[in-house]
């Protein structure tokens, strides 16, 4: 049975995070280093320093490597609280893709790999990227089986060649987790494998940075190339040929933590709209008292409430050791679309103010739209879920 009451220590931690975000982070949302396409590294470092001083850094990371060691249910509470601000995830060092990469390395990395990378990532000193998508070259996208980047075995390791697209967090990152189709010396296709590569490794190149609708990722998004990049055997992450399987260790929980973060931002947009609806008068009364606006506020409450329940349920399953593949997919689809509705309604309630930068809603609106695409478009998740239903009947209830 799911327990919805918060442990006292998590309730207290949530209050600390809420106070920290309100006093230390929200005032920096208008900082000029919040660029059109990304957050500058100097601002991220300043935010990390604040989070470290407050003792709030990396709640998701294991204690052995410098984090707070929270489970998924507790992370759901803290990630939501932190994400009241567009900069909150950076201040607590829980942003994508680093948060998901911590979980991946911790679950499938060797002892040496964990010791080398996890303390540095958990401290906020090192940022990482996850290089899998190739959609601009006709390769792997939502259909990962189309992976074209190749790793061919040579003496002492592998040589990687290929191109990747929409790789997040590039500028300023130090570690690159790369997915490549792997071949042994005889040319036998062994399947996909993940590799740990230094971002400045010879042969790796950032071809161009992409101009995107969102601006919440430090280091931006880019297109990159691998030209005969050498990777020694000890840089294999997980087992050779099990890259897709091991990637699910990262992708399932990462979809859920996306939901946790976006819940906080959707709540913020809703709160701004609700305050406006109580103060702005039209046709003789506050606009919130008109059904057209009042019903939008009510629908926002409904979407936020059910999204939170979906997140807690999926998080609880993960904490029970359940792979929760169906639940994280359903949660990702529902939350990405529900939060889009919430922020869209908030903008509508604000009227002309909503489409300006006089409130943070405009930025949240731009940032949240790609969530329906990131980590698998809604249509792909629906396609996979429908296939499971057709083959095995209605999905089991947990």
What CATH number is given to the structural domain containing 186? 2.40.110.10
- Residue 289 phi/psi, 5-degree rounding, is -85, -10
Give me the DSSP letters along 43-68.
HHHHHHHHHHHTT-S-TTS-GGGTS-
Asked if 272 contacts 354 with a C-beta cutoff of 8 angstroms, the reply is no
Domain containing residue 248: CATH number = 1.20.140.10
- Cis (ω within 30 of 0) for the bond into 12? no
Q: Among 174, 175, 299, 155, which residue's Cα sits nearest to residue 230? A: 155
pTM of the prediction? Answer: 0.94
- Shared domain check, 382 and 283: yes
pLDDT at 60: 97
Q: Beta strand pairing status for 128-131 and 175-183?
A: parallel
Choosing from 216, 240, 264, the residue where a domain stops is 240
Return the sign of the alpha-carbon dihedral for residues 134, 140, 144, 148. negative
Same domain, 214 and 233: yes
| The dihedral sign for the CA sequence 141, 239, 101, 7 | positive
Q: What is the number of structural domains in the chain?
A: 3
C-alpha closest to that of 218 among 137, 124, 115? 124
- Asked if residue 1 is part of any domain, the answer here is no
Q: Please tell me the predicted confidence (pLDDT) of residue 1.
A: 56
pLDDT, residue 392, reads 86
- Range of 163's domain? 128-240
Rounded Cα gap, residues 130 and 282, in angstroms: 49
Q: Is 40 helix (H, G, I), strand (E, B) or coil?
A: coil
* Sign (positive or negative) of CA dihedral 26, 304, 261, 6: positive
Domain-located, residue 398 = no
Same-domain check for residues 340 and 319: yes
- The answer to whether residue 289 is domain-embedded is yes
CB contact at 8 A, 313 and 256:
no
Do residues 300 and 218 share a domain?
no
Select from 240, 270, 299 the last residue of a domain. Answer: 240
Listed as ranges, residues in the chain with pLDDT below 70 are 1-4, 136-137, 398
Residue 138 has what pLDDT? 78
Residue 137: the pLDDT is: 65
């Amino acid at each position: 049975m799911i327990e919805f009451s918060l442990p006292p220590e998590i309730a207290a931690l949530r209050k600390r995070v809420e106070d920290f975000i309100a006093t230390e982070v929200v005032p920096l949302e208008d900082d000029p280093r919040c660029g059109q396409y990304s957050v500058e590294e100097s601002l991220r470092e300043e935010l990390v320093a604040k989070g470290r001083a407050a003792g709030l850094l990396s709640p998701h990371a294991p204690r052995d490597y410098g984090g707070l060691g929270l489970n998924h249910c507790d992370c759901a509470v803290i990630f939501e609280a932190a994400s009241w601000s567009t900069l909150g995830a950076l201040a607590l060092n829980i942003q994508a893709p680093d948060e998901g990469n911590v979980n991946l390395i911790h679950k499938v990395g060797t002892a040496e790999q964990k010791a080398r990378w996890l303390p540095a990532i958990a401290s906020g000193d090192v940022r990482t990227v996850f290089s899998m998508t190739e959609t601009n070259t006709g390769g792997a996208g939502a259909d990962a089986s189309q992976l074209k980047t190749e790793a061919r075995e040579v003496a002492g390791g592998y040589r990687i060649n290929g191109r990747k697209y929409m790789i997040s967090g590039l500028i300023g990152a130090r570690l690159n987790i790369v997915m490549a189709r792997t071949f042994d010396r005889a040319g036998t296709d062994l399947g996909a494998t993940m590799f740990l590569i230094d971002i400045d490794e010879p042969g790796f190149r950032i071809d161009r940075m992409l101009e995107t609708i969102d601006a919440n990722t430090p280091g931006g998004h880019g297109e990159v190339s691998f030209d005969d990049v050498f990777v020694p055997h000890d840089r294999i992450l997980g087992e050779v040929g099990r890259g897709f399987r091991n990637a699910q260790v990262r992708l399932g929980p990462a979809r859920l933590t996306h939901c946790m973060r976006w819940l906080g931002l959707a709540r913020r947009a809703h709160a701004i709209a609700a305050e406006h609806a109580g103060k702005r008068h039209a046709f003789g009364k506050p606009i919130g008292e008109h059904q057209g606006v009042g019903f939008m506020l009510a629908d926002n409450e409904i979407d936020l409430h059910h999204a939170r329940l979906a997140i807690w349920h999926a998080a609880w399953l993960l904490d029970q050791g359940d792979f929760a593949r169906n639940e994280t997919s359903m949660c990702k689809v529902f939350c990405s679309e529900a939060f889009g509705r919430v922020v869209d309604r908030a903008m509508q309630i604000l009227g002309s103010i909503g489409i300006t930068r006089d409130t943070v809603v405009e930025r949240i609106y731009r940032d949240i739209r790609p969530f329906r695409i990131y980590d698998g478009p809604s249509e792909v998740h629906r396609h996979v879920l429908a296939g499971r239903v057709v083959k095995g009947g209605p999905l089991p209830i947990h």
